[in-house]
Each structure stands twice: as C-alpha cells, then as structure tokens.
C-alpha cells in the first residue's frame, strides 16, 4: 500500500469495520471476528441473489458491501448520522460498489422515508437494537418495509440466562467512573436496552416477523464491551444474538405459534 493511501485511510478513522478492499488492503476496524462470524453464521443460508436489501445503521458499510458481494441486485445503506459517510464512500469507490447511501435515517421512522428507502426483500438490523429508546417500534417499522416473503436479519445484545420475557434497561448515561455512572451492563455510546432471548422472539412475533430458529446464532459478549463483566454479583449472562425472521402474515402469528416458538427456543 502506498504511503499516501495509508495516510488517507488513517485520516478517515477511527474505523469500525474491517473491510477488505482490492490490492489486499483491509481497513483498520475492530478485531471483533466472533461478532462478525456470528452474523455470517446466522445468514449463511439466506439467499441474497437478485434481492433488494436495506442495511440499517450501516456505519462503515461492511454488511451492505457483503450483501452486494453475495449477489444482491440493489442495496441501500443507511445510518442515523453522516459521521461515517466518508469511510463508506471511500470503500464504495474502492470496491466499485453500487450501494446507495442514505444518511439521517432513523430506524424508528422508516415508514416516513418509504418514498426514498423503498421496500425490500432483506432488511439488515445489525448492532442497532440496543441503541434505541424504543426497540419494538424499529422492528415493526422494518416489517412495514419488507416485501412479502422477505427476511429481517437482526443482531443485538441479549440476556441468555433469564427465561422470562423482559428487557433490562441499561440507562442512558455513558459509563463514567467520575460521575458514578459506571455500573453498566454494556459500555459505549447510548446502549439502552438488553432483551432476554424470549423477549426478543416475542417482539419479533408481535411485529409480524416469524423467527427462523434454525438460524439462531449466539456468541458471548466480548468482555471488553462490558465494564462489570468480571463482577461475581452480576448475574446477567450477556450474549450477542443473530437470527433471521421471515415477514409473516398477521393471521399466521397465533398464540399457539408463539408458544411453540418459545418452547423450541428454550429447548434448543
Ligand atoms: C454498533 S454500530 C453497528 C454497525 C453495523 N450495523 C454492524 O452491525 O456492524 C451501531 C450503528 O447504529 C447507528 N444507529 C444508532 N441509533 C440509530 C437509529 N436510531 N437509527 C438508525 N441508526 C442508528 C449508529 O450510528 C451506528 O452506525
């Protein structure tokens, strides 16, 4: 890599994703392979060929570019901010990609943007749910933008060891020893909610999305993501969960179906 190119890449940072560019260049993102592999494991059976894909909270764009590389015909990459725009646009050019970028797209207000966002066969909702004040609204907004038979890929922080359907509120303050706001389930910018696995499944079902349990993939939350991870009093087992859910018809989601999904998830 030329010194000039290396300087340009570093000037665009800090990078979130490691994105493989032509010439053996990889952007200097986080070494979170277990998280990235967890998402790839959940989506390995999902057919992107010829599909229309909306990637939410794209950041540097790894998952939008991967969707395109897996054969998607049309990919929209969106985020709430444009702070990562220069990295995404740099990679888009380097890859000769046709991903369409939109910024200032809130996942809780997708329906308002339907005229420019369009409706899609696959929506990727990765690493976003736990940032949101109202996670359920974002899932039902995704359902409204999914084509018939379409799929939502969701990845989030979750709690594995509590069978009850509930969400743990993690507060809105960034973790900070000085002010005493350091006792957090998750550190980082605006982590707000961590649903239990049953809660995540029930939210999907309530939003009209049928969890495909055979795609469910879990990995332990990396210790670096939580400042209280080693405390013996902490009883929340934090995992990152990734799965595919299919856009269902309202009448498909009966109480009996919900019971069956929850039982299967507990046993599996
Ligand atoms: C942890 S990063 C995840 C990046 C990528 N999707 C992934 O999974 O690797 C969270 C992203 O969600 C975006 N985000 C946070 N709140 C959002 C909201 N309300 N609507 C849309 N995007 C949001 C952030 O700007 C950030 O790019």
**pLDDT tens digit sequence for 167-195:** 988 776 666 656 555 556 665 556 678 89
pLDDT of 54 strictly over 50: yes
Task: Using alpha carbons only, give the angle 243, 64, 81 rounded to the nearest 5 degrees.
Answer: 100
Alpha helices (H) along 26-72:
33-43, 62-69
CA 126 to ligand 1 centroid distance, Å: 7
Residue 227: its pLDDT value, please? 46
Kindly provide the b/e burial profile for residues 207-245, where b requires at least 16 CB atoms within 10 angstroms of the residue's own CB. Answer: bbbbbbbebbbbbebeeebbbbbeeeeeebebbbbbbbb
Nearest to residue 44, comparing CAs of 70, 83, 62?
Answer: 70
Q: Are 160 and 218 in contact (CB under 8 A)?
A: yes
Residue 34: its pLDDT value, please? 94
**CATH architecture assigned to 33-57+105-267:** 3-Layer(aba) Sandwich (3.40)
Q: Are 112 and 89 in contact (CB under 8 A)?
A: no
Question: What atom in ligand 1 is closest to the CA of residue 155?
Answer: 8
Q: Which contiguous run of DSSP H or E holds residue 8?
A: helix 3-11
pLDDT band, very low/low/confident/very high, at 229 (cuts 50, 70, 90) = very low
Q: What is the average pLDDT across 143-171?
A: 92
Q: What is the average pLDDT across 124-135?
A: 94
Q: Are 97 and 68 in contact (CB under 8 A)?
A: yes
Mean pLDDT of the chain: 90
pTM of the model: 0.94
Q: Which of 92-101, 211-220, 227-236 has the least mean pLDDT?
A: 227-236
Q: What is the average pLDDT across 164-168?
A: 91
Residue 63: its pLDDT value, please? 98
CA 21 to ligand 1 centroid distance, Å: 22
φ and ψ at 30, to 5 degrees?
Answer: -70, 145
Measured by CA distance, the residue closest to atom 2 of ligand 1 is 127
pLDDT of 241 strictly over 60: yes
CA 131 to ligand 1 centroid distance, Å: 7
Any residues with CB less than 8 A from the CB of 208 and at least 6 apart, and which? Answer: 140, 143, 247, 248, 249, 250, 253
Protein residues whose CB sits closer than 6 Å to any atom of ligand 1: 56-59, 62-63, 79-81, 106-108, 126-128, 131-132, 155
């Amino acid at each position: 890599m030329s010194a000039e190119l290396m300087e340009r890449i570093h000037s665009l940072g800090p990078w979130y994703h490691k994105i493989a560019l032509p010439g053996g260049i990889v952007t200097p993102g986080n070494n979170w392979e277990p998280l990235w592999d967890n998402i790839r494991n959940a989506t390995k059976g999902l057919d992107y060929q010829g599909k229309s894909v909306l990637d939410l909270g794209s950041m540097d764009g790894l998952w939008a570019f991967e969707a395109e590389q897996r054969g998607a015909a049309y990919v929209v990459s969106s985020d709430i901010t444009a702070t990562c725009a220069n990295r995404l646009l740099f990679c888009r050019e380097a890859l000769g990609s046709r991903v369409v970028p939109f910024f200032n797209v809130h996942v809780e207000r997708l329906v308002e943007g339907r005229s420019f966002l369009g409706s899609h066969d696959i929506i990727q909702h990765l690493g976003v749910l736990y940032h949101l004040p109202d996670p359920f609204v974002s899932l039902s907004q995704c359902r409204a933008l999914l084509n018939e038979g379409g799929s939502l890929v969701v990845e989030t922080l979750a709690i594995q060891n509590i069978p009850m359907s509930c969400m743990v509120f993690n507060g809105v303050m960034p973790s900070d020893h000085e002010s005493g706001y350091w006792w957090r389930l998750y550190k980082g910018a605006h982590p707000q909610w961590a649903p239990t696995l049953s809660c995540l499944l029930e939210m999907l079902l309530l939003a009209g999305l049928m969890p495909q349990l055979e795609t469910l993939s879990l990995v332990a939350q990396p210790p670096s993501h939580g400042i209280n991870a080693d405390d013996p009093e902490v009883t929340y087992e934090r995992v990152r969960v990734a799965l595919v859910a299919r856009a269902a018809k309202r009448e498909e989601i009966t109480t009996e179906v919900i019971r069956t999904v929850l039982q299967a998830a507990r046993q599996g």
